[in-house]
């Protein structure tokens, strides 16, 4: 029996909300709150008479901590699920601390305005000290650790698929399959086809910032940074087939490097088709990925936000997308003194997702783990005060819940390794 405030009502949140409504015995009451309340109302209407979860809606600008505080104080939730954008992570964490409520999200903090001089100074120092230049990193949210500990509250960071399930796979491998893990390769394959020459499958601004940034991986205790898309491999994915994949910087590498003892190398690869890459390069070359505002005929325009307005809304790709995703982790290491390899992954079918929740598989593979993370906190299965990433909790009940609610895992004990 719990009350949950869910902030955001986009592609991922819509799946998470529908999944919460399938577990009404835990999610007895939810409030869907977002910047555009009409979207929350439309989803609440769609779910009417289909669930015993009591749904209310609210308008909130989560960039404003005081608005989130007012909403929390009036709704009095047991947990706040932040499924808005990474830009709101810190304001919502501040509100949770002010009101004494647990917090969770699906992506680590990054600022909306990367030209903000105060942020930029800290960012440039971090680039120099840490050796990677992505705009997102965990330092901002890890800085809340003591505050959450002192308040006796939990903040669960990044309970999507990657980050999220991939870290649970790492914790599971360490708990059940290995004595020591030497290398981890995280492979994110989207074999889906939506028929558009170019579209992103989650928020375009966040997606394009991530993909156009330099790649990096963790090796022998430090980051190695490479130009964007400069390391390419081919891999034959179960149920999808052969795909080109490229090494990217990804947030879970940062926390796994701290939490998997003795790990020597962690890499993250994502598949992209040639059409996506050609469009992205062209848009980047003409300045359309820029987050710096320009003045156009008296109006201030942020190029990447204008591009977002032109691109298909990821939430509308569902009915058009065919094919499957395959996301998982390949490990090398030792067990009982012998070398061992292991691959754990999930395969998800875009059309099956659409049939169930009218969404494509990227939102589905993120929304289901968001619900499962909340389930772990609300049922007390994950229960410690502080700020934590997924691999810091027991993976077993989480993987069990993922299997039960739509994302079962598969295993291979003789995987083809990535060179």
Shortest CB 23 distance to ligand NDP, Å: 20
User: Rounded to 5 degrees, what angle do the CA atoms 329, 231, 341 make?
Assistant: 30
Contact present, 176 and 410 (Cβ < 8 Å): no
Work out which of 132, 144, 161, 268 binds ligand NDP, going by CB under 6 A: 161
The alpha carbons of the chain give a radius of gyration, in whole angstroms, of 20
How many angstroms separate the CA atoms of 330 and 343, rounded?
Answer: 4
Does residue 271 interact with ligand NDP by CB under 6 A?
Answer: no
How many angstroms separate the CA atoms of 388 and 54, rounded?
Answer: 29
Q: Which residue has the tokens 């819509």?
A: 14
Shortest CB 382 distance to ligand NDP, Å: 17
Before 163, cis peptide (omega within 30)? yes
Does residue 168 interact with ligand NDP by CB under 6 A?
Answer: no
Does residue 389 interact with ligand NDP by CB under 6 A?
Answer: no
Cβ distance to ligand NDP smaller for residue 191 or 314:
314
Does residue 211 interact with ligand NDP by CB under 6 A?
Answer: no
Contact residues for 1 (Cβ-Cβ < 8 A; gap 6+): 25, 26, 28
Q: How far is CA 138 from the centre of its chain?
A: 13
The strand pair at 265-271 and 180-190 is best described as parallel
Site string for ligand NDP, 275-314 (x = CB under 6 A): ---------------------------------------x
Identify which of 80, 62, 72, 98 has the alpha carbon closest to the alpha carbon of residue 4. 80
Token digits of residue 165: 């399930």
Does residue 83 interact with ligand NDP by CB under 6 A?
Answer: yes
Does residue 57 interact with ligand NDP by CB under 6 A?
Answer: no
Helix, coil or strand: residue 337 = coil
Does residue 86 interact with ligand NDP by CB under 6 A?
Answer: yes
Site string for ligand NDP, 312-351 (x = CB under 6 A): --xx------------------------------------
Shortest CB 220 distance to ligand NDP, Å: 27
HSE on the CB side for 175, CA within 13 Å?
14
Does residue 255 interact with ligand NDP by CB under 6 A?
Answer: no
Does residue 162 interact with ligand NDP by CB under 6 A?
Answer: yes
Work out which of 206, 256, 347, 372 binds ligand NDP, going by CB under 6 A: 206
Residue of closest CB approach to ligand NDP: 10
CB atoms inside a 10 Å sphere around CB 378: 21
CB atoms inside a 10 Å sphere around CB 2: 18
- Rounded-to-5 percentages of helix, strand, coil across the chain: 40, 25, 35
Shortest CB 250 distance to ligand NDP, Å: 10
Residues 103-122 interacting with ligand NDP (rule: CB under 6 A): 106-107
Does residue 401 interact with ligand NDP by CB under 6 A?
Answer: no
Work out which of 41, 63, 356, 358 binds ligand NDP, going by CB under 6 A: 63
Site for ligand NDP, rule CB under 6 A: 7-13, 34-36, 39, 60-63, 83-86, 88, 106-107, 158, 160-164, 202-203, 206, 314-315, 366
């Amino acid at each position: 029996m719990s009350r949950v405030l869910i902030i955001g009502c986009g592609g991922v949140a819509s799946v998470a909300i529908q999944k919460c409504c399938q577990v009404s015995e835990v999610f007895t009451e939810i409030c869907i709150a977002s910047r555009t309340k009409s979207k929350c109302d439309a989803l609440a209407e769609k779910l009417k008479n289909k669930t015993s979860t009591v749904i209310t809606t609210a308008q909130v600008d989560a960039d404003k901590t005081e608005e989130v505080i007012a909403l929390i104080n009036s709704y009095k939730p047991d947990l706040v699920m932040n499924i808005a954008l990474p830009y709101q992570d810190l304001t919502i964490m501040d509100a949770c601390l002010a009101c004494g409520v647990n917090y969770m999200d699906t992506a680590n903090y990054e600022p909306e305005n990367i030209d903000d001089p105060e942020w930029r100074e800290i960012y440039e120092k971090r680039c120099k000290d840490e050796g990677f230049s992505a705009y997102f990193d965990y330092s901002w949210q890890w800085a809340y650790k003591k505050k959450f500990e002192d308040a006796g509250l939990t903040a669960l960071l990044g309970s999507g698929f990657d980050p999220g399930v991939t870290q649970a796979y790492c914790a599971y491998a360490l708990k059940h399959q290995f004595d020591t893990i030497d290398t981890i390769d995280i492979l994110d394959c989207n074999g889906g086809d939506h028929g558009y020459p170019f579209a992103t499958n989650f928020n375009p601004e966040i997606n394009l910032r991530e993909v156009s940034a330099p790649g990096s991986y963790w090796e022998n205790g430090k980051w190695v940074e490479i130009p964007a898309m400069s390391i390419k491999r081919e891999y034959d994915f179960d149920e999808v087939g052969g795909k080109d994949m490229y090494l990217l910087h990804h947030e879970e590498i940062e926390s796994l490097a701290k939490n998997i003892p003795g790990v020597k190398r962690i890499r993250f690869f994502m598949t992209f088709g040639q059409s996506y890459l050609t469009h992205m390069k062209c848009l980047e070359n003409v300045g359309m990925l820029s987050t710096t505002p320009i003045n156009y005929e008296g109006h201030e325009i942020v190029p990447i936000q204008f591009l977002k307005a032109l691109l298909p809304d990821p939430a509308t790709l569902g009915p058009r997308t065919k094919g499957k995703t395959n996301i998982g982790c390949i490990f090398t290491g030792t067990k009982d003194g012998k070398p061992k390899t292991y691959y754990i992954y999930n395969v998800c079918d875009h059309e099956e997702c659409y049939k169930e929740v009218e969404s494509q598989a990227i939102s589905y593979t993120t929304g289901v783990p968001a619900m499962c993370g909340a389930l772990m906190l609300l049922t007390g299965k994950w229960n410690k005060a502080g700020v934590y990433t997924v691999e810091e909790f027991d993976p077993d009940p989480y993987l069990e819940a993922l299997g039960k609610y739509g994302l079962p895992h598969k295993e291979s004990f003789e995987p083809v390794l990535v060179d």
